Amino acid sequence: MLSEKDQELIAAAIDAIRPRYRNKWQEVGAAMRTRDGRIVTGVNIDAYIGRIAVCAEAIAIGRAITETGDHGIETIVAVRHPKPDEPGDIAVVSPCGICRELIHDYDAKARVIVPDNGREPNVVTIGELLPNKYRRGNG
């Protein structure tokens, strides 16, 4: 069951993408709560060359670091706005593999809000989403 703080974070991610949605350009919004309690949002930056696109979670992490320094990630969530011809409303989505690595790099104890097969979203740790994390050297 999601806490009030988790619901607040989902609402912040929705508020980030809803007014900025552009079909095929900005479809994902993210919100994270830092360990010092701030909520920071971001939207994805798409590009004609896909490999230079930047995910919403990375934008939110970058904003948090830029604004006041790295204070860790308590909880993070991403939501996706449906395309004009898709049914449904803005909904929680799982972070991609690259974002899972990035979230883990910045806070190995981060909580992540993820979809749960049509039910209310669920909260897991980043370690549950990324078992056997890549580490440099012997670590």
- Whole-number Å distance between alpha carbons of 11 and 62: 20
Residue tagged active-site, from 4, 8, 57, 86: 57
pLDDT-based confidence at 16, cuts 50/70/90? very high
pLDDT-based confidence at 138, cuts 50/70/90? low
Contacting residues for 57 by C-beta, under 8 A, at least 6 apart: 30, 32, 42, 76, 78, 95, 99, 102, 103
What confidence tens digit (pLDDT) does each residue in 92-117 have?
999 999 999 999 999 999 999 999 98
67 catalytic, yes or no?
A: no
- % of the chain residues with pLDDT over 90: 83
Question: What pTM value is reported for the model?
Answer: 0.94
Bridge partners, residue 111, by sequence:
75, 125
